[in-house]
Amino acid sequence: MTQQRELLEPFPDQLVKQLPATTKRPALDYVSWTDKIQRLIQISADYDWHIIGIHNSGDDTEKVAVHGRLTLTIDGTPRVFDGIGQDSDAKKASTDAFARACAFAGLGLHLWCAGGSKDGGYWITKVLDRGVSDE
């Protein structure tokens, strides 16, 4: 199996947690950043994560924004994925940025797809397994 295919493999249900719905958004499925790092280590993808910048206006009513960069070697090719995260503090915003960068690499992407992996919203692994495109 290629590293790219392994990155796209959905996380098992027991690792998927859920943030409850709020008045501003529906409930959200997520996988912890520690589980994402373990997956990166498991597939032997060389990776580096670092923060490019943090925007904090100092106004408690504004969210903190973090720009992070995930560098991976996938199937022998170096790749760079940036993620921008926002939250109430830099720690939470950097975790959000990491999650987004991982999704751009394919890791945890099933959590971001419309409908998720449970109802067919996540189709890429089936296409890759068939070895054909849906064009």
Instruction: Inform me whether the pLDDT recorded for 75 exceeds 50.
Output: yes
Residue 20 lies in a domain: yes
134 falls within a domain: no
Q: Does the structure show a pLDDT above 50 at 134?
A: no
Answer whether 34's CB lies under 8 Å from 43's CB: no
115 falls in which pLDDT band (50, 70, 90)?
low
What CATH number did the domain enclosing 52 receive?
Answer: 3.30.160.20
Residue 95 domain flag: yes
> What pLDDT shows up at residue 113?
85
pLDDT at site 124: 85
Is residue 86 a part of any domain in this protein? yes
- Tell me, yes or no, whether 131 lies in a domain: no
Q: What pLDDT band is residue 68 in, cutting at 50, 70 and 90?
A: very high
What pLDDT digit, counting tens, does each position of 26-47 carry?
Answer: 888 899 999 999 999 998 778 9
pLDDT for res 82: 98
Is residue 48 within 8 A of residue 37, CB to CB? The reply is no
On whether residue 113 sits in a domain, the answer given is yes
The pLDDT score that the predictor gives to residue 91 is 95
Round to whole Å and give the CA distance between 33 and 25.
21
Find all residues with CB under 8 Å of 17, minimum gap 6, and list them. Answer: 29, 30, 31, 32
Range of the domain at 54: 3-124
* Total of domains in the chain: 1
